[in-house]
Amino acid sequence: MSRAPFSRTRWLIEKLKAAGGADNLRAIFAQAKMAGSLIENEIAEELRFGLKGLAEKTMVLGRQEAAALVKKTAADFLELANLSVKGDDQYIDFILNILIKANIRSNESSVVHYGVVTFYAAAIALEMGVPVSSKLFQWIKTAALLHDIAKLAIEADLLQRAEPTSYEMAILKEHLPLTVFLLSEIKWLKNIVDIVKHHHDRTGDYADWLVAGREELASGIRLAIEILMVADSFDGMTSKRDYKKVGEYVQHRGGKKMLKKQFAQADAIEQLRQEGFDHHVLAALGRILERGGEQLCNIEQLRLIYRRNELKLVWFGIEHLIKKNVIPFNKPESDEAHFYNMLRDERALLWLISDKQLDSSGTEHFVDETISAVHRQVQAAKLGAEFKTITHYYKDFSLGSAYILLFRALMVDRKMGSSTFTRLVKIFARCSEDFGKMIKVMDRLKLIGKSYADNYFDWVSGVLHGEETADIPDFGEKAFIRTVDDLFTGGQG
C-alpha cells in the first residue's frame, strides 16, 4: 500500500491544533527550524496545484455545485485559514501571503496589477474621506489585494492570451465566482466578499447572481465596490501587458470585443464615465492624477496608509506608476544618453535605496543628484582612473546598472561604515573588457534584474517602514558587503 504524499498544509494544521492554536505559529516554525516564508511557499504551491485548472471544471456547473467543488478542493487550506483567532494580525498576514504567493506563481505579472489597484483604491478612498483607521478602509485595501486571487485556478498561458476564443473567455471569467467561493469560506474575510463579488458589475459580463443584490448592501460597501471597480478598470486600460499587441489590445467590455489602443489617463476616465462608473469616484481619481506623485513619494504617508505586509505588493505598483509615468513625474523629452534614461526609469529604485524623500516636483534633479553623489565619491576616493575605464567600456543598460549599484554601495557605506564603494569601482574596472563577467557580477549583487523573491519583498517593506534590514539574506546591507568582499578577494571580480 503506497503512502499518501506529504502535505505541508496538513502538517501545519496538526501542529497548530496540538500546540493549542494559531498564536503558536512562530513557535512551530522555530521548533521545525524552518523559515516562515519557506512554509508559506510550500503551502502556496500545494494550494496552487490543487486548484490548477479548476475554472474549466466549474464553469459548466451550477452555482451550488461549483461552490461545493471549490470548498472540497481547497478544504485543507480553508481549515488552516480558519484556525485564526480574532486580532491575530500575524497569522492573518501568513494566510494572505499564501494566497498571494499561490497566485503569483500562476501569473507573475499579477503582482504589479495587485499593487497598482491597491494603491489606486487606497488613494481614492482617502480622497473621498474614508478614515485610514476605519474598518472600511482596511476592507477596501484587502479586497483590492485579493480581487482576482482565483486566477490561480486558470492555466497561466490562457491568462496571457491576447485574443481568447469565446470558450476561453468563459474560463477566464470564471475567476470571479471562484474568488467569491474561496473567500466566502474564510470567516475573517467575510466583510470583503461583497466588494470583490460586485467589482465587475459595470461590464455586464458576469452571471446575474453576481450582479444582483448590490442595492441592498450598506452604503460603505457600495462605495468600496465603486472604488475597486474604477481602480481595477483604470489600471487595465492605462497599462501595457506582455500579452497585448504592441500599442493595442483586445478589450472585452459589456459583451463586446473591441480592439483598442492603450488608453491615455484622461481618455480612460472619460470612457469609464460613459460606461456609467461612479462620477464621484472618477473625479477623486482625476484629482489624484492632477496632483502628480505626491502620494507615491511621501514615505510617512505610506507607512500610515499601509500595513508592512501590504507594502510588499503595493511597492511594485508604486514602482510601476513611477517608472511608466502613469502618474506624471515631469519627464522631459530629451535625447539624453541611454544610461541616463535607464536611471530615470529606475528612479523609484534609486529613491528606495536613498536616504532622502523623493520630490514629486523634481525627479529629474533626483537622478542628477544620484549621479553627482557617485561622482563626488569617486573624486573623494581618488578612483578617477578606474571610473574612467568603467564609463568608457560600459554602455547603456550596463552603465546605468553600475551607477545604481555604486549608489547602493554609497548608501550601505554611510549606514554600515564599510568600504564597498571603493571595492565595487575596482571590481567593475576589472570587468570592463569582459561583458560576461560583468553581468555575472551584477547578477550576484541581486538588485539589478530583481525578482519577486521573499527576501526582496522583506527588504522592500522593511525599508519603507524604516525597519532594520541589514540581516535580510541576499538584499540586506550585510549580504551586500559580504558579496562585494567576496568578489573583490577572488570571486567573479
Whether residue 111 contacts residue 104, with contact meaning beta carbons closer than 8 Å, is answered with yes
In this predicted model, which residue has the larger pLDDT, 49 or 168? 49
The residue type at 172: L
Residue 228's pLDDT is what?
Answer: 95
For the chain, what percent of residues have pLDDT higher than 90? 32
**Confidence class for position 376, pLDDT limits 50, 70, 90:** very high
**Confidence class for position 419, pLDDT limits 50, 70, 90:** very high
Calculate the alpha carbon distances from 80 to 306, 307, 490 in Å: 25, 22, 47
Residue ranges of domains in the chain = 8-290, 323-489
The single residue listed with the C-alpha cell 476616465 is 269
Residue 434's pLDDT is what?
Answer: 82
For the chain, what percent of residues have pLDDT higher than 70? 86
Cell digits of residue 392: 568608457
In this predicted model, which residue has the larger pLDDT, 302 or 92? 92
Whether this model's pTM surpasses 0.85: yes
Which H/E stretch holds residue 257?
A: strand 256-261
List pLDDT tens digits, range 128-160.
Answer: 999 999 999 999 999 999 998 988 888 877 777
| Model confidence at 249: pLDDT above 50 | no
For the structural domain made of 8-290, what CATH number should be given?
Answer: 1.10.3210.10
**Confidence class for position 189, pLDDT limits 50, 70, 90:** very high
In this predicted model, which residue has the larger pLDDT, 4 or 461? 461
Q: How far apart are CA 418 and CA 369, in angstroms?
A: 22
Cell digits of residue 219: 452604503
3-state secondary structure string across 268-316: HHHHHHHCCCCHHHHHHHHHHHHCCCHHHHCHHHHHHHCCHHHHHHHHH
| Model confidence at 383: pLDDT above 60 | yes
| Region at 256 (left for phi over 0; alpha for psi -120 to 50; beta for the rest) | beta
When pLDDT is averaged across residues 335-343 and rounded to a whole number, the result is 72
**Confidence class for position 184, pLDDT limits 50, 70, 90:** very high
Q: From 120, 115, 124, 122, select the one nearest 137 (Cα to Cα).
A: 122
When pLDDT is averaged across residues 261-283 and rounded to a whole number, the result is 86
Q: Mean pLDDT score of the chain, rounded to an integer?
A: 83
When pLDDT is averaged across residues 470-492 and rounded to a whole number, the result is 87
Residue 247's pLDDT is what?
Answer: 46
Residue 296's pLDDT is what?
Answer: 66
**Confidence class for position 127, pLDDT limits 50, 70, 90:** very high
| Model confidence at 248: pLDDT above 80 | no
Residue 328's pLDDT is what?
Answer: 62
